[in-house]
Structure 1
Amino acid sequence: RAFNRKPVSQRIAIVAAGPIANLVLCVALLWAMFVIGRQDYSATLGHVQGMAASAGFSAGDRIESIDGQPVGTWGDALQALTTTAMDQQDARVQVTDLQGAQRTRLLPLSALPEDFDQENVAGLAGFAWQHQMLPALVEQTQPGSPASRVLRAGDRITAIDGEPVRSFSDITPLVQALGARGGMAMIEVERDGERLALDIQPTLTRDAGSGRQYWTLGIPAPLQPKAAPYDAEQRFGPLAAIPAAFRETGKLTSSSLGMIRRMLTGHASVKNISGPLTIAQVANATAKRGVDWFLYFLALLSLSLAIINLLPIPVLDGGHLLYYLIELVKGSPLSERAMATGQYVGLAMLASLMGLAFYNDILRLVT
């Protein structure tokens, strides 16, 4: 029997089979990822300023939940902060500080301007993640500098005059304060597994370009900083990974549908729509990070195909399902003229989406 002569229920089942297969594949890929174990970074703050500092956050705080939703990694935290900012709401953030105490902070994301950069919410909020901070590692010292007399390549600076150093960016303000105060300073380092306390005195230097004077130890920033080691892992046994994969699929589906809703209501930028160029870049980046991340990318891609296919746009599966639902309600199929008009409208909408996706891809490449 011809497809258009089959009962509506059978046609719905046949058309829905494609998106359902994509959803099943998404779950299977996430299951494999969780069994292998996905390596990631914890949502630990390396530096705070501005809004975050005013709200009471401190360097070393680890984010545990945002608005009641558990946060396992920095990616989870970033996504939750971004969607909250898009909705122009404040975020209630629970953290564990360096002393192990749990505290709740209110981050006033509603204070961000309406046209805020949606790709840099953490930066606008005053957050810098710990794993993105440049380690305070001595690769080399400038000849004749104070550092050349007491430090060696491979030393890791942990404190200057009792003030903790968590990243390379902490060194400059501490050295400027020490230089202005005058006298010797004590620099604490880790060297070959030992902790050492060394005396050092900053020297005043003049910048050749601007003529500005500043205090320095003579430690250039690392030229090729190494990636921070992963400090968070999501791993489950084969049975426990099944519900975990379904939960992650539900979470990703909710996030994707929420993003579509926000774009339709104007709360999210259409710059979030990506095309094949960005997809290829992400595929390459995740493949370099490891099998676990590449499986996650493939799962997200499969889920995205399912959601896009189910959009009620004629020429897509969702458009056909819409036709069949209308047929169920009215008791007869739509006229050929109505269906043809729908096809033209659907093609125009699809072409517009593809054009926008390519435009965003090219814009990302040139900016």
Structure 2
Amino acid sequence: MSSIQGTLAQWRDRLRRKELSPAELVNLTADAIEADRTTNAYISFDREAALRAAAAADTASPLAGIPIAVKDNINVLGQPTRCASRLLAPYASPYDATSIRLLKAAGGIPLGRTNMDEFAMGASGENSAYGVTRNPNAPDHIPGGSSSGSAAAVASATAIAALGSDTGGSIRQPAGHCGIVGLKPTYGRVSRYGLVAFASSLDQIGPMTRTVEDAAILLQAISGHDPKDSTSADEPVPDFEAALGRDVKGLKVGIPAEYFTSGNHPGISEAVQNTVKQLESLGAELVEISLPHADAVVAAYYIIACAEASSNLSRFDGVRYGKRAEDAAGLVELFSRTREEGFGPEVKRRIILGTYVLSSGYYDAYYSRA
């Protein structure tokens, strides 16, 4: 797997210098995926489709023909999009998500469908119908979730970079667990069109990479306004890569008092304090602030996310696409058996909770308050 060690920026430079071709890099990456017996980071990958894309790749483009791993809830034309669920096992996407269209336009090559917590519901990488994802740095520990496979692939050098999605930490947390860079973009910066929805008011697609520079390059490629997403921000995209390396002198950094509590692990508190001290030594201005609703954030998140999941996942009923229960006696049995057989336990729990907080008599008490 050491054959694809290196950053996206380094591989981009090598491709531009023609030290190797996009097809050779695709083969190196596919070989690394096949050699990995530890992480279960990928559900599947299509070497031949990637090689066809590599044959037409322009090495002068922003991503220069670099293969990029893709979380299994982002639609890629002609490839399975299963959300790591039995329910979508037979489904293959008839279109590209906007992020994938932009990735391809920038010269990126989608290679591999990465494992995840089913329908992005989980924080451990253990809730997949395709098996547990392992942390490449400590295989007996979780890699975090729900973008577990994308994080593990980048950390294990079976991907140069990857796309993940983040609703309540699903990029940031596994990136932290696996020791890589993960960024949840500002809501509206990256189109959600083609991302299988968990909680529509929270979901975002973002980069998972080895370095901040790589994250800037990948985010640049997938950002931009999209008329197909009504929540897409019609704002110009800055040059993220050009903004790297600037002096932080004079930058104001808010330090929320509520986040420095006795409930933190001592090692985490120490790491954060060390970072704060480093920012201060570099000239940043530290400002103590208060976020008085911090204690309610997790509860509010679970209510809002589960409510939206209950609504969004109602479309998976066995009628239009995906798994369909056999020999069902009528529509009601078709719906209930398809969902019972297709969804895993964590997804069912969240649908039940979301349906409850949206139900008559409880909507105002829970959902409206959240």
Q: TM-score, normalised by structure 1?
A: 0.26
Instruction: Decide which structure has the larger Cα Rg and report it.
Output: 1
Q: Greater share of helix residues, 1 or 2?
A: 1
Q: Greater share of strand residues, 1 or 2?
A: 1
Q: TM-score, normalised by structure 2?
A: 0.26
